Amino acid sequence: MNPKMNEKVTNIAQFVVLLIFGILLMIPFLWMVSVGFDRTANITLPFPPRLIPEEVASFNYKIVFENGRLVQSYLNSAIVTISSVLLQVFASLLAGYAFSKGTFKYKKLLFLLVLCTLMIPMEPRLIPLYTLFNKVDLLNTFWPLILPTVINGMLIFLCKQFFDQLPSTLREAAQIDGAGEFRIFFTVYLPLAGPIAATMVILSFIWSWNDFMWPLVVLSDQDLHTVPLYLSSFALENGTSLAGLTMALATVSILPIIVLYLFLQRYIIQSIALSGVKGE
């Protein structure tokens, strides 16, 4: 067998294996969508599980979209998520550029401290953060959900690695023209950071939209509940008695993430491709 034929067979085998694993990963999601379209699932959860409901109906989704509390939770999640994403991505781009191209004292030590924050899980920070926001009287507001997310060690690390791949000669040329650091960042490097910014938007959006533990601690007013909190409370109140409606709610809750990813996926692929470009 010639090398071209070997390569073709290998590519087909890889595609088949990836397709099988992709289908296996999609089965739980497809089952969730299927139960949402199954009107009888509100009486009893179908067993054994089936991907095609016996009676397909949009009844559950009509109730979901007519639910005022869901609409309010969507608005709450949108406010928190959009604010967190904008602040987090902008701060990470600035910090990543500073750690990559900047020259200041203790730069390596400060970057090491940033990386050390990645080893601290959320659980040990709950009590200190709760105490802090309680003292400044910001509990039961959106501020505790937005402010702590502005500085994110993982996103800063990704930004630094991305800016490390861009040529430093761009900065030197701009400095010769008399540009300051902020002008260099906004006019030279920021326009090139679209791919990594799109990747950070996706990650930040997922983290903020799906956040459950911290909002549960700081939000006591139901009118301020985000989508995960509302979905959790609905599931606890009804259990499996309204499984179809619960699954419809779960499907609707993840739609923003899917839509955002479909719009930004090409930029994410581009950021991965650019990570192999070495700048001097």
**Both 129 and 195 in a single domain?**
yes
**Both 132 and 216 in a single domain?**
yes
pLDDT of residue 270: 64
Q: How far apart are CA 103 and CA 131, in angstroms?
A: 36
**Both 91 and 110 in a single domain?**
yes
For residue range 71-106, list pLDDT tens digits in order. 888 899 999 999 999 999 999 999 999 998 888 888
In a domain, 280, yes or no: no
Q: In the chain, which residue ranges form alpha helices assigned H by DSSP?
A: 3-36, 59-65, 68-101, 107-116, 123-135, 143-146, 153-165, 169-176, 181-184, 194-210, 213-218, 227-238, 243-274
**Both 121 and 32 in a single domain?**
no
Q: Tens-of-pLDDT digits for all 280 residues of the chain?
A: 567 777 788 888 888 998 999 888 888 888 888 877 777 666 666 667 677 777 777 777 877 777 777 888 889 999 999 999 999 999 999 999 999 888 888 888 999 998 888 888 888 888 999 999 999 999 999 999 999 989 888 999 989 988 988 888 888 888 888 888 888 889 889 888 888 888 888 889 888 998 888 999 998 888 888 988 888 877 776 655 677 777 888 888 888 888 888 887 777 666 655 544 444 4
pLDDT of residue 271: 62
The residue among 37, 66, 95 that closes a domain is 66
Total domains in the chain come to 2
**Both 175 and 186 in a single domain?**
yes
**Both 76 and 35 in a single domain?**
no
Residue numbers of the domain that contains 263: 68-274
For residue range 26-54, list pLDDT tens digits in order. 888 888 888 777 776 666 666 676 777 77
pLDDT of residue 276: 45
- Domain of residue 238, CATH code: 1.10.3720.10
pLDDT of residue 241: 63
The residue among 18, 50, 66 that closes a domain is 66
Q: How far apart are CA 171 and CA 214, in angstroms?
A: 40
pLDDT of residue 133: 92
